[in-house]
Structures are given as C-alpha cells and as structure tokens.
Amino acid sequence: MTTNVLTIANGYLRKNLGHIVTFITSAFIVLAVTLGFTQLASAQMVPIVGQAGPGASGANVTSIQSYLATTQFYPEKLVTGYYGPLTQAAVERFQAYYGIVSSGSPSATGYGRVGPSTLAKMNILISGGVSSGADTSAPYISGVVVSPGSTSATVSWNTNELATGRVYYNTTPLTFNEGDINSVGFSVTNGQSASFDTTTRLVHGATVTGLSPNTTYYYLIVATDPSGNVSISLPGATFRTGM
C-alpha cells in the first residue's frame, strides 16, 4: 500500500513524478513547479529506522538526509547528521508532494517532521517500491460536475481506474494533515464527509444535504484505489447554493 503523489493536471491533483506541489492552506494557493527531473530512489540505500524532527542528530538523521539528497526536494544535498532548517524544508516539500501533510508545525501537525506516515513512505521508496511492480499509480479524477440546489448539492466525477470515493465540504477552506483516514497517511482536519462509497467504481456520485441557502461551500473529492493510492481534487474548489 502506498501513499499518493500529487500534481496539478486539468485543474485536479493526481499522482505524477516531476512536480513539487506546495499547499499554503491558509490561502489555498497551490503552486506546481516543474523541475524536469524525477525522484530517484536507490535500492542500496539504508532504510530509515525511526522518526525524527528538527533539532535531532545522529545516524538516523544522516539516513534521512542521504535519501532526500537523491530527490528534488533537497537541492542543497547536505548530509550533516543534524536536522536543521534545510532538512525541515526538504521534508515539508516531500510531505506536500505526497499529500501527507500540508500545513502547521512539526509539533502540531507533523509538518516538517518525519512522522509515521512520512517514514513509511520514504522507506517504500528506498526499498524500491516504485519499481517493484506494485501499483503506485493513483486514480485520475476527471469530469467533476457540481449541481447545487438551495439546501443540497450533487457532486459527480469519474476516475480512470476502479476506486472508492469520498466528498468533503465546509464553509471554510478544507485542510489536510498527516493522519490515517484512508490508512495511507491522509486526513481532512475540518469539514464534513458527504459520503463514503465502499464499492470501487469508475463513475462516482455523492449528494450533500443539509446545506444553507445562498452560501459558498468548499469541497474536495478523495479517490482511493484498491492498492491504497490516493488522489484528491483541488482543495480550493467551491460551489454556491441557491436562494
């Protein structure tokens, strides 16, 4: 089971190496920087044995930095054994790119800290999970249509492979965190879930009820395939109910 890789494609986020996606959730600005090269993971690299955060030092930090130095997330490529600001920034880029956590602090949300989900993802890549034949391709979300009424809205979308679907909505921007809502290190920290369809399918739909008239709602779609790869639609997307 692997976590997702996120990139902007036709207004949505999907798994695709070669981009860094940085989420600034307070303003919900999504910046995609195309780098022209992809992440490299060496099968000979030493697995990371434990969690770590800013201020830590030692062999475990060296392992973290050695791995990050093979990626686009850590352009400085300094392997010092000390978990300083440059290492923290690299971990933040890694977490945002893989949809693990996008905001907050190392102590509050795990942003910038190698926590359990971040550690697991790094070790999957180090062990060669990307090239081992395992399914590491997240569903591609397309054809999203929202049909709002005065107190409800119907959300429909398609995926390019069989997947389950979940819709979240709120009157304020949705944020996500390093959690375990899909058992893959992804959690929405605010808002409500409209539905969770446990049947995998290609054509999806959900009805959001109990809405307030003439109100703007933020929403996002979470699509998860049977291997646990996850895609989410653009977190800043909105719809407005009628009078």
- CB-CB contact of 94 with 117 (8 Å): no
Tokens coding 205? 């739909």
Of 157, 164, 169, nearest to 208 by C-alpha is: 169
List of residues 6+ apart from 75 with CB closer than 8 A:
none
Q: What is the 3-state secondary structure (H, E, C) of 177-205?
A: ECCCCCCCCCEECCCEEEEEEEEEEEEEE
Of 235, 195, 240, nearest to 219 by C-alpha is: 235
CATH of domain 7-131: 1.10.101.10
Confidence at residue 43, expressed as pLDDT on a 0 to 100 scale: 32
Tokens coding 72? 């686009």
Name the percent of the chain lying above pLDDT 90. 29
Of 175, 157, 173, 176, nearest to 165 by C-alpha is: 157
Q: Is the pLDDT of residue 139 over 50?
A: yes
More confident residue, 123 or 218: 218
Give the residue-averaged pLDDT of 120-125.
87
- CB-CB contact of 206 with 152 (8 Å): no
Q: Is the pLDDT of residue 132 over 60?
A: no
CA quadruple 10, 11, 12, 17: dihedral sign: positive
Residue-level length of the chain: 243
d(CA 161, CA 178): 25
Residues 7-16: pLDDT tens digits?
A: 333 333 333 3
Residues 28-56: pLDDT tens digits?
A: 222 222 222 233 333 346 789 888 999 98
d(CA 11, CA 125): 27
Residue 5: what residue type? Answer: V
Give the residue-averaged pLDDT of 115-138.
72
CATH of domain 141-240: 2.60.40.10
Q: Name the average pLDDT for the chain.
A: 75
Q: Which of 48-57, 104-113, 127-136, 202-211 has the lowest mean pLDDT?
A: 127-136
Confidence at residue 117, expressed as pLDDT on a 0 to 100 scale: 87
Residues 51-109: pLDDT tens digits?
A: 899 998 888 898 999 899 888 899 888 888 889 999 999 999 999 888 888 889 998 88
- CB-CB contact of 15 with 4 (8 Å): yes
Domain boundaries, the chain: 7-131, 141-240
* CA 19 from centroid of its chain's CA atoms: 13
Structural element, H or E, at residue 124 = helix 116-126
- Cβ burial of 132 (10 Å; 0-12, 13-18, 19+) is exposed
Confidence at residue 178, expressed as pLDDT on a 0 to 100 scale: 55
- CB-CB contact of 2 with 9 (8 Å): no
Of 232, 236, 235, 111, nearest to 181 by C-alpha is: 232
- CB-CB contact of 11 with 234 (8 Å): yes
Give the residue-averaged pLDDT of 148-154.
96
